[in-house]
């Protein structure tokens, strides 16, 4: 396969989208493609994992938009400067694979007269849970522009089915690529926190940006409710804009000895394997990598039963407990039950674990290879 592939990620940060972009970029390079990553701004945590032979194309970034979110600046910069830089390096066989700012990627592809693959990562129901006008505008623009892409892919089957109806065009499913060998290797690294070293009670773990989407205030309140019948610790790994609010909640509930915000960790896997239970409390997701990674680390898991993602990973409840969104009683009971009935929790985890092959890197890259081949 000899093609020029441009991985489009204007805001190259440190989340699941960027992890997926790195895996696809490195894998396409191994397939013999000429791979470039196009970005405006980067955080090194994921960016440094790109192989040296992956070309890095940095777009100019405007700096005169005060009080505007950085991602909006990245998006605006991409449309202003992307065409002039990319037109020098693309050819007729070039393909953009867009992981962010898909509308802009589509516009650039039309201006450059090349193919574009855009990727959906969250369900449109997210606008029900966020106050952001930008998200509402984004969902409207998807309906207008996405059908003009050459291929639209989603990271879960339910997401693909729902957006196919909304967009009026076919949406293909490609699951997030998970490198299980890397998980196994990284799980063996050590942790320094005394809570994990001198473990005196079960640890419930949650991982994600401290944002509205991840719904950690609900998780903390549910966990505290479960402490009436169990003794455990809740550890949340991640950083974000909700930190102050969560710290205030922990102090208000007088839970400083039971609930801990560990901040960002470059390697989450040693914490996963040393935990007794993983909980995903999100308001919405597309296909949450971290839940797949928890099952891959053989950690019993609970998730809110949101629109897409967890049901597929946890096999409609056969692979882990699914909890009604924002139902504190259900969540607290699920945490309590999971810790008190570890054999049942482990059996559910094993059911999910044996079905993980569909998320393997090989399976995912095979799907990308097939779609790219069909664009010839």
* Token code pair at residue 311: 């049901």
Residues forming CATH 3.40.50.2000 domain(s) in the chain: 4-177+360-374, 181-358
pLDDT reported for residue 131: 64
Consecutive H or E run containing 7: strand 4-8
| Predicted model pTM | 0.84
- 181-358: in CATH 3.30.390.30: no
Consecutive H or E run containing 4: strand 4-8
Give the list of residues 6+ apart from residue 354 with CB closer than 8 angstroms, or none: none
CA 88 – CA 103 distance, rounded (Å): 21
CA 368 – CA 364 distance, rounded (Å): 6
Task: Report in angstroms the alpha-carbon separations of 117 from 94, 160, 197, 207.
Answer: 11, 14, 45, 29
Q: What average pLDDT values come out for the chain (376 residues) when binned by 10 residues?
A: 87 85 92 93 90 95 77 86 92 93 94 95 72 73 90 93 91 91 93 91 95 95 94 95 96 96 93 97 91 96 94 96 96 97 97 94 91 86
pLDDT reported for residue 203: 97
CATH number for the segment(s) 4-177+360-374: 3.40.50.2000
CA 148 – CA 306 distance, rounded (Å): 29
Phi-psi region of 55 (alpha: psi -120 to 50; beta: other; left: phi over 0): beta
* Token code pair at residue 319: 């692979």
Instruction: Supply the DSSP string of 49-100, one letter for each residue.
Output: TS-TTSEEEEPP-----TTS-HHHHHHHHHHHHHHHHHTTT--TT-EEEESS
CA 297 – CA 283 distance, rounded (Å): 23
* Token code pair at residue 19: 């992890």
DSSP state of 277: E
């Amino acid at each position: 396969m000899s093609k020029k592939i441009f991985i489009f990620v204007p805001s190259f940060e440190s989340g699941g989208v960027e992890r997926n972009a790195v895996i696809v970029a490195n894998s396409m390079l191994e397939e013999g493609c000429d791979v470039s990553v196009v970005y405006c701004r980067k955080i090194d945590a994921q960016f440094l994992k790109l192989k040296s032979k992956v070309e890095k194309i940095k777009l100019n970034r405007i700096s005169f938009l005060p009080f505007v979110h950085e991602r909006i600046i990245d998006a605006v910069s991409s449309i202003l400067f992307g065409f002039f830089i990319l037109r020098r390096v693309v050819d007729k066989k070039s393909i953009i694979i867009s992981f962010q700012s898909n509308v802009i990627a589509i516009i650039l592809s039309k201006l450059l007269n090349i193919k574009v693959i855009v990727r959906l990562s969250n369900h449109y129901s997210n606008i029900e849970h966020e106050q952001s006008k930008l998200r509402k505008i984004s969902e409207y623009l998807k309906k207008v522009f996405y059908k003009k892409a050459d291929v639209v892919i989603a990271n879960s089957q339910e997401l693909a089915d729902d957006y196919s109806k909304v967009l009026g065009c076919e949406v293909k499913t490609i699951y997030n690529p998970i490198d299980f060998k890397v998980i196994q290797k990284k799980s063996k690294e050590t942790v320094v926190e005394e809570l994990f070293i001198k473990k005196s009670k079960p640890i419930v773990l949650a991982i994600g940006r401290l944002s509205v989407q991840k719904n950690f205030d609900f998780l903390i309140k549910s966990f505290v409710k479960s402490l009436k019948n169990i003794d455990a610790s809740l550890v949340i790994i991640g950083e974000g804009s909700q930190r102050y609010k969560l710290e205030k909640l922990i102090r208000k509930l007088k839970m400083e000895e039971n609930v801990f915000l560990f901040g960002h960790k470059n390697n989450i896997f040693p914490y996963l394997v040393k935990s007794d239970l993983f909980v995903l409390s999100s308001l919405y997701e597309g296909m949450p990598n971290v839940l797949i990674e928890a099952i891959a680390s053989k950690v019993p898991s609970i998730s809110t039963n949101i629109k897409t993602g967890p049901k597929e990973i946890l096999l409609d409840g056969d692979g882990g407990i699914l909890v009604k969104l924002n139902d504190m009683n259900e969540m607290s009971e699920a945490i309590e039950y999971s810790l008190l009935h570890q054999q049942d929790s482990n059996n559910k985890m094993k059911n999910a674990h044996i079905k993980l092959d569909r998320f393997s890197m090989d399976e995912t890259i095979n799907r990308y290879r097939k779609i790219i081949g069909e664009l010839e």
